[in-house]
Amino acid sequence: MKKIVVLSAMLFSAILVAQSKSNSNEFIGSWSLISINNIYQDGTKVQPYGKNPEGLLIFDEDGNYAIQILKENRPLIVSGNKNTSTPEENAAIVKGFNAHYGKYSVDARNKIITFEILHASFPNWENKVQKRTYSYSNDMIKYIVKNTTQGGASVVAEVVWKKRRSNQ
């Protein structure tokens, strides 16, 4: 009887691990940004990258990821040289772009994506680990960022991505 209980527990554990890994396989590939909504403590919602932001998220099978987010309608640099741009142009560049890359893991059972950020356009995020709760449905991922680049812990961001297909 004791052997049956132990074997059952081992089998159940193996099934959970296999399910967790197979669910994370759904993440592998490239994703297009659909929306970002910052939600402030008073309930106010703001779209920091506009109504139609651009972005690309890539998860690979080795646990690497890369994210690029760009604001819609970013102004051109008048001089055509980013080394001689004005303070206003520099501010628009910084506020209109967010990127980071590193390692990721998915805990499908608890619905958490962990980003181990190696480098980021927002240097405060470099060498940090961020855990983001997520939901996944119909080739869409929605995750929550609790420590944003635009307000720290005082604002929460809801970020939605759609899986790209080979013809996109």
CATH number at residue 140: 2.40.128.280
Dihedral pair phi/psi, residue 21, rounded to 5°: -70, -40
Q: Is 122 exposed, middle or buried (0-12, 13-18, 19+ CB in 10 A)?
A: middle
What pLDDT, on the 0 to 100 scale, is given for residue 138? Answer: 94
Please give the model's pTM, rounded to 2 decimal places.
Answer: 0.82
What pLDDT, on the 0 to 100 scale, is given for residue 145? Answer: 94
Instruction: List per-residue pLDDT tens for the chain, 168 residues long.
Output: 565 544 444 444 444 444 444 346 899 999 999 999 999 999 999 999 999 999 999 999 999 999 999 999 888 999 999 999 999 999 999 999 999 999 999 999 999 999 999 999 999 999 999 999 999 999 999 999 998 887 777 889 999 999 998 765
Number of structural domains the chain divides into: 1
What pLDDT, on the 0 to 100 scale, is given for residue 150? Answer: 79
Quick check: is 168 in a domain? no
What pLDDT, on the 0 to 100 scale, is given for residue 20? Answer: 42
Q: What count of Cα atoms within 13 Å lies in the side-chain half-sphere of residue 24?
A: 23
What pLDDT, on the 0 to 100 scale, is given for residue 9? Answer: 45
Quick check: is 77 in a domain? yes
* Residue 47: both structure tokens together: 């779209």
Quick check: is 79 in a domain? yes
Contact 144, 132 (CB under 8 A): yes
Quick check: is 47 in a domain? yes
**Whole-number Å distance between alpha carbons of 75 and 54:** 15
Q: Which residue has the tokens 């819609």?
A: 72
**Whole-number Å distance between alpha carbons of 92 and 60:** 31
